[in-house]
């Protein structure tokens, strides 16, 4: 059998997904055995023009990580889609927007202002902002357009498979590699993780889901054996897809939802609101108001990794 051609790309991401691929350790040699890597900016020196020169559908599998928040990222996503038989949204940013999608609570103008003018480490008295085109003495410089809204990969191109996680854990990556190697991929559209919730794979003792106060970490010393949510600590387990191996829970940290919504759930944050509302033992309206106050940052907590993919999508933009 001819060797497979594999491409990897990062858009708005941190590089953690690329490193996660290397975290498979010696198994990376199996990948090298069955596939030639034809594009991988973090590790290999291929340029965009090399990809442009490939015939269409030349890459067998493209693992695309990162959200799409600039014209460059959108055009590379479209380019790689055209050149790839199978497109995989790899990691939470490509699947749901991830941490970069928190920028959807602001606007491009807010972000530019903060990053380049207000931030205390800046030295920018003329308030220069990045421009798409800049004239310099020698000619013209170009930058991509930064979009107002951070998008998921599937909001820009067709995607065959979704591998969630921030980053995807090694066992899941190996599952993907094995599926590719044995030509045993699931039907298109599949999310390569569990279909159940994180609670389903969490070993903590669950008794009765009833809480009367929501705690921040400094207000409570959690019992390491018991369900965090039952102790009043916001844990996204009921609204999050399983498949991570409960990594955060096992080190006494509540889930923040990086695997996205479980199968059949459209909006992870709404699911979590419903989960909290159904276990809160309220004694009158003032009690409910207090609970709402105790959740310091509901939007940023319930949509920590999933704002682009949610029904909210972003903060409302002012009409111009």
Angle at 95 between CA 107 and CA 171, to 5 degrees: 140
Closer residue to other proteins (CB): 100 or 232: 100
**Is 128 one of the binding residues for other proteins (CB under 8 A)?**
no
Q: Which two tokens stand for residue 29?
A: 């040699």
DSSP state of 317: P
Closer residue to other proteins (CB): 130 or 189: 130
**Is 99 one of the binding residues for other proteins (CB under 8 A)?**
yes
**Is 138 one of the binding residues for other proteins (CB under 8 A)?**
yes
* CA–CA gap between residue 124 and residue 301 (Å, rounded): 33
Is-contact 240 198, C-beta < 8 A?
A: yes
**Is 95 one of the binding residues for other proteins (CB under 8 A)?**
no
Closer residue to other proteins (CB): 85 or 108: 108
**Is 133 one of the binding residues for other proteins (CB under 8 A)?**
no
**Which residue from 7, 97, 100, 243 is in contact with other proteins, where contact means CB under 8 A?**
100
10 Å Cβ neighbour count for 249?
A: 22
**Is 43 one of the binding residues for other proteins (CB under 8 A)?**
yes
10 Å Cβ neighbour count for 179?
A: 16
Is-contact 44 37, C-beta < 8 A?
A: yes
**Which residue from 144, 190, 245, 294 is in contact with other proteins, where contact means CB under 8 A?**
144
**Is 247 one of the binding residues for other proteins (CB under 8 A)?**
no
**Is 141 one of the binding residues for other proteins (CB under 8 A)?**
yes
Can you tell me whether residue 163 is helix, strand or coil?
strand
Is-contact 68 309, C-beta < 8 A?
A: no
Nearest residue to 158 (alpha-carbon basis) of 59, 84, 93:
84
Supply the DSSP string of 108-160, one letter for each residue.
HHHHHHIIIIISTT---TT-----SEEEETTEEEE-PPEEEEEE-GGGTS--S
Smallest separation, CB 62 to other proteins (Å): 16
**Is 78 one of the binding residues for other proteins (CB under 8 A)?**
no
* CA–CA gap between residue 239 and residue 273 (Å, rounded): 9
Determine the straight-line distance between the first and last CA of the chain, rounded to whole angstroms.
Answer: 57
Nearest residue to 65 (alpha-carbon basis) of 202, 173, 212:
173
Is-contact 168 90, C-beta < 8 A?
A: yes
**Is 232 one of the binding residues for other proteins (CB under 8 A)?**
no
Stretch that binds other proteins, among 94-102, 198-206, 238-246, 286-294 (CB under 8 A): 94-102
**Is 170 one of the binding residues for other proteins (CB under 8 A)?**
no
**Which residue from 24, 79, 82, 111 is in contact with other proteins, where contact means CB under 8 A?**
111
**Is 115 one of the binding residues for other proteins (CB under 8 A)?**
yes
**Which residue from 3, 36, 44, 186 is in contact with other proteins, where contact means CB under 8 A?**
44
Closer residue to other proteins (CB): 106 or 265: 106
Q: Which two tokens stand for residue 82?
A: 């055209």
**Which residue from 6, 153, 156, 166 is in contact with other proteins, where contact means CB under 8 A?**
166
**Which residue from 3, 52, 78, 119 is in contact with other proteins, where contact means CB under 8 A?**
119
3: left (phi over 0), alpha (psi -120 to 50) or beta: beta
Smallest separation, CB 310 to other proteins (Å): 15
**Is 289 one of the binding residues for other proteins (CB under 8 A)?**
no
**Is 167 one of the binding residues for other proteins (CB under 8 A)?**
yes
Q: Footprint of other proteins on this chain (CB under 8 A)?
A: 10, 12-19, 41-48, 69-70, 72, 98-100, 102-103, 105-106, 110-112, 114-115, 119, 130, 136-139, 141-144, 146, 166-167, 216-218, 253, 256, 296-297, 300-301, 304
């Amino acid at each position: 059998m001819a060797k497979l051609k594999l491409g990897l790309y990062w858009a708005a991401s941190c590089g953690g997904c690329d490193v996660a691929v290397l975290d498979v350790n010696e198994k990376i040699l199996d990948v090298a055995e069955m596939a030639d890597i034809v594009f991988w900016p973090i590790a290999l020196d291929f340029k965009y023009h090399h990809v442009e020169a490939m015939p269409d559908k030349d890459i067998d599998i493209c693992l695309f990580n990162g959200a799409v928040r600039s014209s460059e990222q959108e055009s590379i996503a479209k380019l790689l889609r055209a050149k790839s038989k199978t497109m995989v949204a790899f990691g939470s940013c490509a699947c749901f927007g991830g941490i970069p999608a928190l920028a959807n609570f602001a606007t491009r103008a807010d972000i530019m202002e903060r990053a380049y003018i207000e931030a205390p480490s800046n030295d920018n008295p003329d308030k220069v902002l990045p421009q798409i085109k800049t004239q310099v003495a020698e000619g013209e410089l170009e930058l991509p357009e930064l979009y107002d809204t951070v998008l998921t990969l599937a909001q820009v191109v067709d995607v065959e498979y979704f591998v969630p996680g921030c980053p995807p854990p090694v066992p899941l990556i190996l599952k993907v590699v094995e599926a590719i190697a044995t030509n045993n991929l699931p039907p298109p559209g599949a999310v390569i993780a569990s279909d159940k919730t994180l609670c389903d794979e969490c070993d903590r003792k669950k008794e009765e889901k009833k809480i009367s106060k929501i705690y921040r970490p400094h207000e409570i010393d959690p019992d390491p054996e018991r369900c965090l949510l039952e102790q009043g600590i916001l844990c996204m387990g009921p609204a999050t897809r399983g498949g991570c191996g409960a990594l955060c829970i096992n080190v006494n940290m509540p889930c923040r939802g990086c695997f996205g919504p479980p199968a059949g759930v459209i909006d992870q944050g709404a699911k979590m609101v419903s989960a909290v509302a159904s276990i809160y033992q309220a004694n009158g309206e003032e009690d409910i108001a207090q609970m709402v106050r105790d959740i310091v940052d509901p939007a940023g907590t319930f949509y920590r990794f999933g704002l682009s993919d949610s029904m909210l999508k972003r903060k409302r933009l002012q009409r111009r």
